[in-house]
Every structure is written in structure tokens, then in C-alpha cells.
Amino acid sequence: MNDIDKTTQNIVELLREKNLHISLAESCTGGMLAAEVTGVAGSSAVIDMSIVTYANWAKEKYTDVTVDLLVQYGAVSRECACAMAEGIRREANCDIGVGITGIAGPDGGSPEKPIGTVYIAIASENKTTIKHFIINKEDRNTIRQETTRQALILLKEILIWL
């Protein structure tokens, strides 16, 4: 069992112990976080919903992302990740919502938001934590995998304190 598998196993155990349910809204990871979580036996007791909101219209329809937010901040922003996490939590009526957005490349980067720019937000009833990363990897899949790894690490840290 590798470190990611252990972390994911710990997350599912923490969610079960604390009787918490989680839902996920992923963009640049394309469902990788959901695949990790649902790969753990017993995860069906804690995961309520997972969606890949790749297109902006999907972010708007299924989470709290608004057109105004997208125009002002862009789809790759802390504001968008926050809205995704809070929106999926409310939509699923669950305890924890995760929102992930970023630029995995090889296209789409800019000087302000280079390839590898990622925002991960985790929302609970009382608090939303948002982390910004610049993942300096050359390969699209590696950026997606590292984003998933960072989301798992952040989620475990937050769950320990809930």
C-alpha cells in the first residue's frame, strides 16, 4: 500500500468514525479524487456525490459558481474553488464539500495563471479552507495526480480537526 492509498484509507476511516459525508466537484482532476476515495472499501458509507464540472456551465448549474464570479475571477481562482466546494456541499446536503479547479495543460496557461496553477477548497458547515498551488510538472497527468495527492493531504488534515 503506497502513501496515497494509506492517506485515502485514513480519510474514509475518519469520515466513518465522525459520521461525516462528503461530496466532490472536480474540474482539472477529472474525477481522480473520486476514483481514489471510491477505491477504498466502505467508501459508499461516506461519499454522497461526485461530479466533474469541467465546463463553466456545469460549474454554474451544479455548484455556486455564478457568471459574475467567472467574469470577475475566472474558472481557475480561489473564488471559483470556494464556490464549487460550498455549492456541492449544499447541493448534496452533506457535511464536507471539495472543489478543485486548475490548469493541467499543456494549453491554457498565462503569465498570471501558468500551467500547474491549482486551487483546492474544502468546505464544512463552519469554514472553507482554500489552498493555492503551482505544480511545476511538465506532464498533464502528473499535474492531475499531484493535485489529487494535495487534495487528499489537505482533506486528511482538515478531518483530523473536525
83-124 pLDDT tens trace: 999 999 999 999 999 999 999 999 999 999 999 999 999 999
Residue 11 has pLDDT above 70, yes or no: yes
> Per the confidence metrics, is the pTM higher than 0.85?
yes
- Taking the C-alpha atoms of residue 131 and residue 113, their distance in angstroms, rounded to an integer, is 15
Helix count and strand count (H, E) for the chain: 6, 5
Question: For residue 1, what pLDDT is reported?
Answer: 64
- Paired with 25 in beta bridges are 51, 99
Q: State the burial class of residue 131 (Cβ atoms within 10 Å of its Cβ: 0-12, 13-18, 19+).
A: middle
Q: Which helix (H) or strand (E) holds 132?
A: strand 128-134
